[in-house]
Amino acid sequence: MELAALQELATGLDHPEGITWGLDGRMYAGGEAGQVYAISLEGTVEEVTSTGGFLYGVTTDGDGAVYACDFGQGEVARIVPPGEVETYSTGTADHPLRVPNFSAFDDDGNLYVTDSGDWAADDGLVFRVEPGGATAVWSDAIPRFPNGCCLSADGRSLFAIESHARCVTRVPIGDDGSAGRPELIVELPGSQPDGIALADDGTLFVGCYRPDRVYRIEPGGAPEILFEDPDGVSLNQPTNVAFIGDGLDRLAIASLGGWSVVAADVGARGLPLRYPHR
């Protein structure tokens, strides 16, 4: 698609990385000084609060709370309306969170959290945080900088980006909740993939920190470059992608290297996220 299809949805944000769609009809994003932004479809930006850290991925629940992967604080913070900040998880005693990057809820309210680890060290982990905050290491089998993630339509798998491996991996979720053997879904050579969103027909959309690119990957198909911006103007280190709107019919893209979020009609509808109640 042409870059002209991208429309600026909101600007004045402090290097947003994580974005997600909330049940209140607003998009949520994080900033590099810990800001939590709520953004209307008309582009009105409200700074809800700040954790004082550096926010990566953000996720919301059915009660309007925001779960923010806070790299600066080494935790998953829970922001309770109207803006009270509390610690939800810091990992485990043996494995404290180092680079909490992105998270996704399952149907039972468990929160899967990627901890990317150190770049090129291949020491990343995936944690599972039960409702209430009890945390365990869920998988150490996708260690190559696990990053953006999302649940499959049936909730039986976790799709995750491995940025250092430059690929998308699927990890089955067993009947007992345990992690199964990872399966390579697609390789993305020559890029550094970051964020992922799933359409309701199984198509994957992947934002790449390098180069300034967004991929579309149909089920069983080869990666297709949906958008690419060699000048880094409309897309400036695009990271997380998320479907937004009441019909989840627009794809929003955050640019960590810039100050805005853009969106476009990409001819697909997003798979609805899980919004558990506490």
pLDDT of residue 47: 98
pLDDT of residue 253: 98
pLDDT of residue 152: 98
| Contact criterion met (CB below 8 Å) for 192 and 186 | no
pLDDT of residue 224: 98
pLDDT of residue 278: 82
**Domains defined along the chain, listed by start:** 3-264 (2.120.10.30)
In whole angstroms, give the CA distance from residue 109 to residue 277. Answer: 7
Kindly give the parts of the chain with pLDDT less than 70.
Answer: none
Provide the strand spans (E) within 11-144: 19-21, 27-30, 35-39, 45-50, 55-60, 66-70, 75-80, 84-89, 100-105, 111-115, 125-129, 135-139
pLDDT digits (tens, 9 = 90+) for 200-218: 999 999 999 999 999 999 9
pLDDT digits (tens, 9 = 90+) for 152-175: 999 999 999 999 999 999 999 999
Quick check: pTM over 0.85?
yes
